[in-house]
Amino acid sequence: MRYVIPIFALSMAMGSLNSSSKPVEVQLNVAVKGSKVWATLTFTNASSQEIQLEKYKVHFGTVYADNFEITNGEKKIPYTKELSKRILRDRNFFKLCAGKKLTTQIDLTQLYDFSSGTHRYKVRYCAFPIRDQVIELTSNSVIFTYTK
């Protein structure tokens, strides 16, 4: 579920809003290898200061969340893992220095229920992973064919 925050409320909460530049750029690549669909995310800190990214939302380590929009035509592919609420602590964040990159790799077949047969899918990453900032990060979209 996504929440929509009116632009004026977001502007008031953050000061000036520049929608054309985001502090973190996200690049998505997808590779189908055998029965697996691997997503590689590269987060680049495009700002001039350190940023803290929530591990859960950038798929750092073995922590995952429903942060991919995967569709087969108009049909959304369902996320299969249990969603949980948690209290965020300092240990839940990864520090990304200015100009640095973080790359993570995720097996999407472990998280999403792909349809049987051969289908063409479209995927993109979208989440709010930056600590103390209400900025949605979105990746490029990738189209791939997968057979289950």
Q: Where are the domains of the chain?
A: 7-147
Whole-number Å distance between alpha carbons of 64 and 105: 11
**8-state DSSP, 108:** G
Fold classification of 7-147 is: Immunoglobulin-like (2.60.40)
Distances (CA, A) of 124 to 29, 47, 73, 121: 9, 22, 14, 10
Helix (H, G, I), strand (E, B), or coil: what is residue 117?
Answer: coil
Q: Residue 119, Cβ neighbours under 10 Å: how many?
A: 16
| pLDDT tens digits for range 42-62 | 999 999 999 888 887 888 766
Residue entry with tokens 């409320």: 9
pLDDT for the residue 34: 93
Q: Residues 103-137: pLDDT tens digits?
A: 999 999 999 999 999 999 999 999 887 777 777 88
Average pLDDT estimate for 79-101: 85
- The DSSP symbol for 78 reads P
pLDDT of amino acid 61:
67
Is the predicted pLDDT of residue 8 greater than 50, yes or no?
Answer: no
